Amino acid sequence: MTIPTAELHLHLEGTLEPELIYTLAERNGVQLPWADIDDLRSRYDFTGLQHFLDLYYANMAVLRTEEDFADLTRAYLARAAAGGVRHTEVFLDLQAHTARGVSAEVVLRGVSGALEAAEGEHGLTAGLIVTFLRHLPGEEATAALREALAVDVPLLGVGLCSSETGSAAPFREAFELAAAHGLHRVAHAGEEGPAANVTEVLDVLGVERVDHGLRSLEDDALVDRLAAERVPLTLCPLSNVRLQVVDSLEGYPVRELMDRGVVVTVNSDDPAYFGGYVDDNYRELTAALGLTTAELATLAHHSAEAAFVTPERRARLD
């Protein structure tokens, strides 16, 4: 199933497939701690977000050069285009790379060059969202944004991800700096954390979309607010199953959220880790819930509404 869609919740490093991990390790002389690729694959049974994040950050060690980041990005874009993605806004964990001694310039040039080539190669438009790591101090997020702004590549926005622990308030300064530079703002909240985390990123960080936000359902007033203010939620069904946020897709509350007027979208999060790209998410959700053609059209329409694009581009996506 390929629903023409915009993908709005996708971590570029989460598209790093085991095959590419091995190719890049060889190319860069990086010693991997696994016996072989099957041994690596056997570790993808996650008990929760932190368990996944530990492997996700460890695997990034193979990404060293501008070419590595370009190869990673090109592989994702080709797969996304084949799956019906017509516009994508990719998250990049810049701090996870600069902390390993890879410069912001190398990372951003490699990724951005590939994103800019996507329109010519695949007819797919793409934007870049630099995500701050919530497990690190807020000042480091501000410093990372300053580094990114100093590199001559276009940025679409900033986000907040990683472990959903502690307050988001330390990131207020980084988000204010982003707003001052005309950047869009999103944040992960209400994935493993409570509904109060969703309210916090809306009120304290001024985000325009919430990544996941599934646990908003625990607060009726919050669901009403999201609907009234048309704040989109970027849901990631297969991710939520694989990280044990929900038991199965059969009870996935996407229809309930749509019926309550929330602008919900379907996305893949970290497809190399969670068993599927965005087309797989649409297909498995449809199989589990019996989504109708009209409901699928509404989800795709929501993705165009929620995308950070010009009215002209939105009209062509819709």
On whether 269 is known to bind a ligand per the annotation, the reply is yes
Q: How far is CA 158 from the centre of its chain?
A: 11
On whether 71 is known to bind a ligand per the annotation, the reply is no
User: According to the binding rule CB under 6 A, does residue 239 interact with ligand ES4?
Assistant: yes
Q: Are 69 and 105 in contact (CB under 8 A)?
A: no
User: According to the binding rule CB under 6 A, does residue 270 interact with ligand ES4?
Assistant: yes
Name which position in 21, 49, 235, 307 contacts ligand ES4 (CB under 6 A).
49
Give the separation between CA 176 and CA 285, rounded to whole angstroms.
37
Give the separation between CA 146 and CA 155, rounded to whole angstroms.
12
Nearest-approach distance from CB 153 to Zn ion, in angstroms: 22
Q: Is 84 left (phi over 0), alpha (psi -120 to 50) or beta?
A: left
Q: Is 162 left (phi over 0), alpha (psi -120 to 50) or beta?
A: left
User: According to the binding rule CB under 6 A, does residue 11 interact with ligand ES4?
Assistant: yes
H or E stretch at 272: helix 271-274
User: According to the binding rule CB under 6 A, does residue 14 interact with ligand ES4?
Assistant: yes
What are the Cα distances from residue 218, in Å, to 32, 37, 163, 199? 42, 40, 20, 12
Token readout for 109 is: 């040039």
Scanning residues 101 to 140, which ones bind ligand ES4 (CB under 6 A)? none
Give the separation between CA 159 and CA 96, rounded to whole angstroms.
14
Per-residue binding letters, 54-83, with ligand ES4 (x by CB under 6 A) = --x---------------------------
Give the separation between CA 204 and CA 160, rounded to whole angstroms.
13
On whether 188 is known to bind a ligand per the annotation, the reply is yes
Q: Which of 44, 56, 80, 114 is nearest to 267 (CA)?
A: 80
On whether 270 is known to bind a ligand per the annotation, the reply is yes
- 291 interface partner picked from Zn ion, ligand ES4, none, CB below 5 to 8 A per type: none
- 14 interface partner picked from Zn ion, ligand ES4, none, CB below 5 to 8 A per type: ligand ES4
User: According to the binding rule CB under 5 A, does residue 68 interact with Zn ion?
Assistant: no
Name which position in 7, 192, 269, 279 contacts Zn ion (CB under 5 A).
269
CA atoms within 13 A on the CB side of 116: 9
User: According to the binding rule CB under 6 A, does residue 215 interact with ligand ES4?
Assistant: no
Q: Are 296 and 40 in contact (CB under 8 A)?
A: no
Q: Which is nearer to ligand ES4, 96 or 126 (CB)?
A: 96
Token readout for 254 is: 């996407």
**Per rule CB under 6 A, count of chain residues that contact ligand ES4:** 11
Scanning residues 186 to 205, which ones bind ligand ES4 (CB under 6 A)? 188, 191
User: According to the binding rule CB under 6 A, does residue 162 interact with ligand ES4?
Assistant: yes
H or E stretch at 142: helix 138-150
Q: Which is nearer to Zn ion, 53 or 77 (CB)?
A: 53
Residues marked active site are found at 191
Choices 41-49, 63-71, 170-178, 264-272; region in contact with Zn ion by CB under 5 A: 264-272
Scanning residues 286 to 315, which ones bind ligand ES4 (CB under 6 A)? none
The residues of the shown chain that bind ligand ES4, judged by CB under 6 A, are: 11, 14, 49, 56, 161-162, 188, 191, 239, 269-270
The residues of the shown chain that bind Zn ion, judged by CB under 5 A, are: 269
